């Protein structure tokens, strides 16, 4: 399977992403559920598309649902459909996303935001491939592969009773972790060039690349919005830039988010220095333990919930 086939290209040079692509190539050939973990903007939807395009279901629908974008009252109807008269404004029968995905793949993005009552219905679909539309007692049977994605600490949600443990274990057959962009600086020049070529072509401009200052700024920036933020940055530069080489001044990057991917501490601020040390130390322990937060917390001699809090606060 070519990682550049499918719905979008995977631009990667870092060992972390190339390793995940290798795992995905093996996972794609199965029908097992997959749970994709990673911060907002890392490209979880792109990796889900890569799994679908490498599977036996590639010629069937790939249906995507952003579970966080729909209010609880509409989410059940969106996922499972409804019959006429099921509720106010249900003026006709409606097919749900699971039914649309029959024979193919459904991506449940932001699965951590699904309310508990709906989680039980999703669990039944995974186990039995069956469900009922809202307002109906007729059982619908589907053949759907489920890929779930979240930017939340789903283990913590399970521990706090906000996510069903049985659903988590059914989804977590193959966990795929997509590291944030700041942890894979090797990918930044490749991605930046890819986006530059695309937006230059769309805008009918001719860019030859980036100045050394611009490239250095791109690599040293912490990218809190990950690949999505990088893409927006390069699109903006293509609109503003007038020279053959995109300069640092064309990037309009926020000065407060230069974290130093090489571990360098900006300035002499003690709080920042301590935070950089904490982040690097915790990241090293996580990497040594395969990003298993429970095991890393044991090594660090802290509660796993506190480790999760530090990961969020320090942007690890």
Domains of the chain: 15-179 (3.40.50.300), 182-257 (1.10.8.60), 270-314 (1.10.10)
Tokens of 49: 């598309």
Provide the 3-class DSSP secondary structure of residue 6: coil
With both helix axes pointing from N to C terminus, report the angle between 187-202 and 226-240 in degrees, rounded to the nearest 10. 40
| pLDDT score, position 1 | 38
| pLDDT score, position 228 | 94
Q: What is the pTM of this model?
A: 0.79
H-state helical runs in the chain: 15-27, 44-53, 72-80, 97-100, 116-128, 154-159, 165-171, 187-202, 212-220, 226-240, 248-251, 270-288, 293-300, 304-314
Q: Which residue has the tokens 């571990």?
A: 263
| pLDDT score, position 268 | 53
Per-residue pLDDT for the chain (316 aa), expressed as one digit of tens each?
333 344 467 899 999 899 999 999 999 999 999 999 999 999 999 999 999 999 999 999 999 999 999 887 789 999 999 988 778 788 788 899 999 999 999 999 999 999 999 999 999 999 999 999 999 999 999 999 999 999 999 999 999 999 999 999 999 999 999 999 988 999 999 999 999 999 999 888 889 999 999 999 999 898 999 999 999 999 999 998 889 999 999 998 876 555 544 444 445 556 766 777 788 888 888 888 888 888 888 888 888 888 888 887 787 7
Helix (H) / strand (E) element for 106: namely: strand 105-109
DSSP state of 69: G
Q: Which of 190, 261, 260, 188 is nearest to 230 (CA)?
A: 188
DSSP state of 4: T
Helix (H) / strand (E) element for 34: namely: strand 34-37
| pLDDT score, position 2 | 39
Tokens of 246: 């995109």
| pLDDT score, position 295 | 87
| pLDDT score, position 140 | 95
Angstrom distance (rounded) from CA 96 to CA 73: 14
């Amino acid at each position: 399977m070519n990682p550049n086939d499918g719905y979008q290209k995977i631009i990667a040079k870092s060992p972390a992403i190339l390793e995940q692509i290798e795992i995905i190539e093996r996972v794609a050939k199965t029908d097992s559920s997959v749970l994709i973990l990673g911060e907002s903007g890392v490209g979880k939807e792109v990796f889900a598309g890569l799994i679908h395009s490498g599977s036996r279901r590639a010629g069937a629908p790939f249906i995507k649902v952003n579970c966080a974008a729909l209010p609880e009252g509409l989410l059940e109807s969106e996922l499972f459909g409804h019959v006429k008269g099921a509720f106010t404004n249900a003026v006709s029968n409606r097919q749900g996303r699971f039914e649309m995905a029959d024979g193919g793949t459904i991506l449940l993005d932001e699965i951590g935001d699904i309310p508990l009552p709906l989680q039980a219905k999703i669990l039944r679909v995974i186990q039995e491939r069956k469900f009922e539309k809202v307002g109906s007692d007729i059982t619908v049977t589907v053949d759907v592969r489920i890929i779930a994605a979240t930017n939340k600490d789903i283990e913590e949600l399970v521990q706090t009773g906000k996510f069903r443990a049985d659903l988590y274990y059914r989804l977590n057959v193959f966990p795929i972790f997509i590291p944030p962009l700041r942890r894979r600086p090797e990918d930044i020049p490749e991605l930046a060039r890819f986006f530059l070529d695309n937006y230059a072509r769309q805008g009918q401009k001719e860019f030859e690349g980036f100045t050394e200052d611009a490239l250095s700024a791109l690599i040293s920036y912490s990218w809190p919005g990950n690949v999505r933020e990088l893409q927006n940055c390069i699109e903006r530069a293509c609109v503003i830039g007038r020279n053959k080489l995109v300069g640092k001044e064309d990037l309009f990057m926020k000065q407060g988010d230069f974290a130093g991917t090489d571990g360098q501490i900006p300035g002499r601020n003690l709080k920042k220095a301590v935070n950089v040390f904490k982040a690097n130390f915790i990241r090293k322990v996580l990497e040594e333990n395969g990003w298993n937060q429970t095991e890393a917390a044991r090594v660090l001699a802290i509660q796993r919930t506190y480790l999760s809090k530090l990961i969020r606060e320090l942007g690890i």
